[in-house]
Amino acid sequence: MLPVLRPASIEEAGLFYSQLDETKDAALGTVGHVRIDFGHGGKEFWHSWWPHNEDQFNTPEFKKAIQTVVDALQRDGPLKDLSTMRSYCQQHGGAITADGENFGYIAETEQYQFCLRCTPVPGHYQGYLYCYDKRQQEMAQQDTVVGRVSYADGTRQEFTDAAQYLQTIQEELPYRNTTGFRYEALTKDPQVRKAVDDIILDFAGEANPKRTCNYGMTEKGLQALRDAADPSLPHTYAWFVMTDCNTPQEQLHRGLTLEEAVCLYQDSDCPEKRLGVTKDGIATVDIVRTADGEQNFFSDHQKLDSFKNDPVIFEAVAQLHQELENATCDQSMMM
Residue 108's H or E segment, with its range, is strand 103-108
Determine how many CB atoms are found less than 10 A away from the CB of residue 288: 19
Four-CA torsion 16, 122, 94, 309, nearest 10 degrees? 40
Backbone phi, psi, residue 318, to 5°: -60, -40
The model carries a pTM of 0.48
Over its length of 335 residues, how does the chain's per-residue pLDDT go in tens digits?
A: 566 899 998 878 889 998 877 778 888 899 999 999 999 889 999 999 999 998 999 999 999 999 999 999 999 899 999 999 999 999 999 999 888 899 999 999 989 999 999 999 988 899 999 999 998 887 776 667 889 999 998 888 989 888 999 999 999 999 999 999 999 988 877 888 899 999 999 998 988 887 766 676 666 677 888 888 888 889 999 999 999 876 777 888 989 999 999 999 999 988 899 999 999 988 888 999 998 888 999 988 888 888 988 999 999 999 999 888 766 434 433 32
Residue 195's H or E segment, with its range, is helix 190-203
Query: Does residue 77 contact residue 85 with C-beta atoms inside 8 Å?
Result: no
Domain spans, the chain: 6-140, 144-215, 235-334
CA–CA separation, 148 and 186 (whole Å): 7
CA–CA separation, 304 and 310 (whole Å): 10
CA–CA separation, 288 and 275 (whole Å): 5
